[in-house]
DNA sequence: ACATTAATTATGT
DNA sequence: ACATAATTAATGT
């Protein structure tokens, strides 16, 4: 029987079941007993939306597995503006500075929705890599994917116009974090026009105009902090005109 | 082709 | 009632 740490609700222990990790790529090749010892070393936390998981430049003392929710990775420009580098959906690792050969976090991670994260002290990273089959190769894959995405976004910024950039950003969002609903695909976490503008290096006003225009054309519908894509194909066309 | 500024309206606690 | 989000128009680069 598990005693909850009621004195410290921020760090409340959930009942951690092996099935939480067993289907996730970095751990999928492991036996139940192995996952058990991994879980026993983990700290779990519930985080509200908009809370920093870690900050750019902080000593990278822990790494994280996002169990539920979404996290966006931010960088601050020299002039103090936020730029969103990418979104991370649940089931992925984050704060994996060690894999990049760093001892500080290269960016800030903020929860985009209510989230649940597991974390381990960074000193366990090398142990995981050495002892757990598939852990290293899977994390390499996700790193590769993220670098790839950031690259294509940089190319977009340099070559495409605003309308095509936000169209592309929306398409990526529905691909990575979209949930099928009645008549379209819904972005699965609260997203403002400000957020979208930070993803596409434009202003919230321009995003607002574009979304309004697209809504009239029946391509999207949006409420406050909510965007649903009705016609992805139309966005694809917009993104390559 | 876009940003900026500003005024106005809507929406959630 | 208050703060935050979104829209809209006018003006600037």
Quote the Cα angle for A66-A107-A68, to 5°. 10
If one counts every other C-beta atom within 10 angstroms of the C-beta of residue A26, the result is: 23
Gap from A130 CA to C13 C1', in Å?
Answer: 56
**pLDDT tens digits for range A99-158:** 999 999 999 999 999 999 999 999 999 999 999 999 999 999 999 999 999 999 999 999
Gap from A85 CA to C10 C1', in Å?
Answer: 33
Residue A235 pLDDT > 80:
yes
Q: What residues pair up with A223 in beta bridges, in sequence order?
A: A226
Instruction: Give me the A residues in range 26-65 that sit within 7 A (CB) of strand B.
Output: none
Instruction: For strand C, give the nucleotides within 7 A of a protein CB.
Output: 5-10
CA–CA distance, A142 with A148 (Å, rounded to integer): 10
Closest residue to B10 (CA to C1') is A224
Q: Please, are residues A104 and A116 in contact by the beta-carbon 8 Å criterion?
A: no
Which alpha helices (DSSP H) does A65-224 contain, by range? 125-131, 135-159, 162-177, 193-200, 204-216
Angle (deg, nearest 10), helices A193-200 and A204-216: 110
Q: Which helix (H) or strand (E) holds A104?
A: none
**pLDDT tens digits for range A221-230:** 999 999 999 9
- Token pair 């009621």 in the structure block, residue: A6
If one counts every other C-beta atom within 10 angstroms of the C-beta of residue A161, the result is: 11
Instruction: For strand B, give the nucleotides within 7 A of a protein CB.
Output: 1-6, 11-12
* pLDDT value at residue A78: 85
Residue A193 pLDDT > 60:
yes
Gap from A226 CA to C11 C1', in Å?
Answer: 31
Q: Could you check: is the Cβ of residue A180 within 7 Å of any atom of nucleic acid strand B?
A: no
- Token pair 């434009």 in the structure block, residue: A202
**pLDDT tens digits for range A3-36:** 333 333 444 455 689 999 999 999 999 999 999 9
* pLDDT value at residue A3: 32
**pLDDT tens digits for range A61-90:** 999 999 999 999 999 988 888 999 999 999
Q: Could you check: is the Cβ of residue A163 within 7 Å of any atom of nucleic acid strand B?
A: yes
A192: buried, middle or exposed (CB in 10 Å: 19+, 13-18, 0-12)? middle
pTM of the full predicted structure? 0.90
3-state class (DSSP) for residue A219: coil
| Residue A226: φ, ψ to 5° | -155, 130
| Residue A128: φ, ψ to 5° | -60, -45
* pLDDT value at residue A127: 97
Q: Could you check: is the Cβ of residue A79 within 7 Å of any atom of nucleic acid strand B?
A: no
End-to-end CA distance of chain A: 61
* pLDDT value at residue A5: 36
Distances A64 to A60, A130, A216 between C-alpha atoms, Å: 11, 18, 41
Q: Could you check: is the Cβ of residue A38 within 7 Å of any atom of nucleic acid strand C?
A: no
Closest CA to A88 of A150, A166, A20: A150
Gap from A36 CA to C6 C1', in Å?
Answer: 48
* pLDDT value at residue A15: 67
Checking each nucleotide's C1' against the CA of A161, the nearest proves to be: B1
What confidence tier does A237 reach under pLDDT thresholds 50, 70, 90? very high
3-state class (DSSP) for residue A68: strand
């Amino acid at each position: 029987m598990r005693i909850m740490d009621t004195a410290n609700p921020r760090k409340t222990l959930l009942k951690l079941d092996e099935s939480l990790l067993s289907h996730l790529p970095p751990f999928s090749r492991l036996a139940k007993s192995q996952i058990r010892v991994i879980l026993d070393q983990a700290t779990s936390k519930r985080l509200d939306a908009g809370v920093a998981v870690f900050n750019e430049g902080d000593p990278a003392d822990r790494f994280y597995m996002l169990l539920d929710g979404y996290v966006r990775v931010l960088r601050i420009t020299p002039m103090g503006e936020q730029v969103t580098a990418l979104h991370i959906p649940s089931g992925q690792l984050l704060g994996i500075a060690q894999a990049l050969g760093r001892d500080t976090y290269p960016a800030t991670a903020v929860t985009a929705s209510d989230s649940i994260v597991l974390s381990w002290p960074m000193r366990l990273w090398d142990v995981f890599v050495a002892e757990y089959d598939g852990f290293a190769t899977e994390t390499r894959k996700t790193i590769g994917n993220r670098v790839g995405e950031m690259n294509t976004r940089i190319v977009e910024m340099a070559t495409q116009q605003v309308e095509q950039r936000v169209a592309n950003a929306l398409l990526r969002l529905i691909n990575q974090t979209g949930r099928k609903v009645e008549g379209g695909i819904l972005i699965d976490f609260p997203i403002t026009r400000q957020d979208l503008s930070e993803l596409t290096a434009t202003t919230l006003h321009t995003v607002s105009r574009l979304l309004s225009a697209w809504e009239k054309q029946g391509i999207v519908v949006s409420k406050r902090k909510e965007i649903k894509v009705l016609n992805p194909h139309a966005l694809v066309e917009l993104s390559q005109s």
